[in-house]
Amino acid sequence: MTIEILQPGKLLDTCEAALAQRYTVHKLYEQPDPAAWLKANGSRIRAVAGGNVDAGLLTQLPNLEIIANFGVGYDNIDTKAAKAANIRVTNTPDVLNDAVAELAIGLMIALGRRIVVADKFVRAGKWPGNNFGLSAELTGKTVGILGLGRIGKEIAARAQALKMRVVYYGRGRQPSVPHIYYDNLVDMARDSDWLVIVAPGGKSTQGIVSRDVLEALGPEGRLVNVARGTLVDQPAMVELLVNGGLAGAALDVFDGEPEVPAELMDLDNVVLSPHHASATRQTRDAMGAMLVANLDAHFAGEPLLSQVV
């Protein structure tokens, strides 16, 4: 008898194929009445692959052993409830570092050098007879990284290659890191031309990039968020972008996504991106493989590759 697992949402084709080879997969999102399905079948489910898992769902899966998340961030899972129910949780760290760092740097160059605006300018036939104006170079500028972890360090290395000065903020100084450490985010923002957010979402970082932080970054400062929209006071950010209190923002994530504040749509000092920092073929394949490997390890009684609970 094969092991029955639940897939709450769509996954990458390669990941779904690998799961189907090993397990009996139930796609909750394809059920006409998911609540009724869970009531009738939830007790047979031993693992969840990807998707959002709240405490309500957990109560319907009384024999659940493991949740294998597709992604390094796991703020989509109620880890407290999982821990209380003795359910293991895994994520997919490291394999996505390069892809996310690459997009962060890409967003910075796009925003600073006005690449999106320039493209629109040329396509609209405005080049003849008009001066496009100037843009902001990254070279020699200071980038403050909020969350100098696995991805943050890859961003730092790339920023240094662009001749930027790197400073960072986190809950503690990292002794093996050569960059200047700030124990106060407002102070770091004041010292930064660019503030790059790449710390985890969830309650502990909710609104950490407050109005005070954004005002310290100031009218010459630019914000980049490749973490989670919840870290930023989004209304304050929008207001400052509209009234010139911030020079610009490049955003891969939003509070309440996929909804994006309407005010941002018409701003030229904003680059918008649909939460796709890790979405390259090679990285998504590697994330899927890691999700499957964690499940395989669990059911083989072997150590998990990346356990967070």
Q: For residue 228, state whether it binds ligand NDP (rule: CB under 6 A).
A: yes
Beta-carbon neighbour count of residue 268 at 10 Å? Answer: 11
Among positions 82-101, residues that touch ligand NDP (CB under 6 A) are 93, 96, 100
Cα gap 206→133, rounded to integer Å: 37
Nearer to ligand NDP, 57 or 72 (CB): 72
With contact defined as beta carbons under 8 Å apart, do 84 and 94 qualify?
A: no
Among positions 13-72, residues that touch ligand NDP (CB under 6 A) are 72
Q: Which of 5, 61, 199, 236 is in the footprint of ligand NDP by CB under 6 A?
A: 199
Query: Residue 276: CA atoms inside 13 Å, Cβ hemisphere, count?
Result: 8
Q: Which of 278, 283, 294, 306 is in the footprint of ligand NDP by CB under 6 A?
A: 278
Q: Which of 83, 68, 124, 128 minimizes the C-alpha distance to 290?
A: 68
The least CB distance from residue 158 to ligand NDP, in Å, is 14
Ranked by CB distance to ligand NDP, the top (closest) residue is 149
Q: Which two tokens stand for residue 37?
A: 């399905």
Nearer to ligand NDP, 8 or 170 (CB): 170
Residue 284 a catalytic site member: no
N- to C-terminal Cα distance for the chain?
27
The least CB distance from residue 299 to ligand NDP, in Å, is 25
Residue 298 a catalytic site member: no
Phi, psi for residue 83 in degrees, rounded to 5? -60, -45
Cα gap 44→186, rounded to integer Å: 50
Nearer to ligand NDP, 59 or 204 (CB): 204
Nearer to ligand NDP, 23 or 169 (CB): 169
Catalytic residue among 46, 228, 284, 298: 228
Q: For residue 201, state whether it binds ligand NDP (rule: CB under 6 A).
A: yes
Place of tokens 């899927």: 288
Residue 276 a catalytic site member: no
Among positions 134-173, residues that touch ligand NDP (CB under 6 A) are 147-152, 170-172
**What residue spans of 168-218 are helical by DSSP H?**
185-191, 211-217
With contact defined as beta carbons under 8 Å apart, do 196 and 155 qualify?
A: yes
List contacts with ligand NDP (CB under 6 A): 72-73, 93, 96, 100, 147-152, 170-172, 198-201, 204-205, 226-228, 252-253, 275, 277-278
